[in-house]
Amino acid sequence: SPVGEDAAGYLLLDHWRKENIDIQSLKQDADIDTSINVGLVTDDGERTFVTNRNGCLWKLNINDVDFDRFSQVRLLSLASIFNSPLLDGRGLTANLTPATGRSVDCGAG
């Protein structure tokens, strides 16, 4: 997944390095912004999310994902990946299943 060459991107990279999180497959891209999502909750519990549509979440596509590394990981977090308009369940399922060596269902139905 790419992050932008912006303050948020550098902040995240610095944090992940300090926490010894493997970011080997992560790329920086000067043409996108690092996604920042803000959740707003009203008194009655209604939630609204504000996001930048030029953010990396909106630009992530199947070619950005290093599927070869998936079989090497102990933990894989795909937070918000299903909100990415350029990724669909069929593409994810087709790539995740062989990459992990396990059956994976990404809602391709």
- The listed range with the strongest mean pLDDT (10-14, 27-31, 67-71) is 10-14
Q: Which amino acid is at 74?
A: R
Does residue 58 surpass a pLDDT of 70? yes
Does residue 108 surpass a pLDDT of 50? no
Residue 67 in tokens = 């599927």
Rounded to the nearest 5 percent, the helix, strand and coil shares of the chain are 35, 15, 45
Residue 80: pLDDT band with limits 50, 70, 90:
low
Q: Which pLDDT value is given to residue 66? A: 78
Q: Residue 109 falls within a domain, yes or no?
A: no
Which range of residues forms the domain containing residue 8? 2-100
Number of domains in the chain: 1
Q: Which pLDDT value is given to residue 81? A: 66
- What is the overall mean pLDDT for the chain? 80
Q: Residue 88 falls within a domain, yes or no?
A: yes
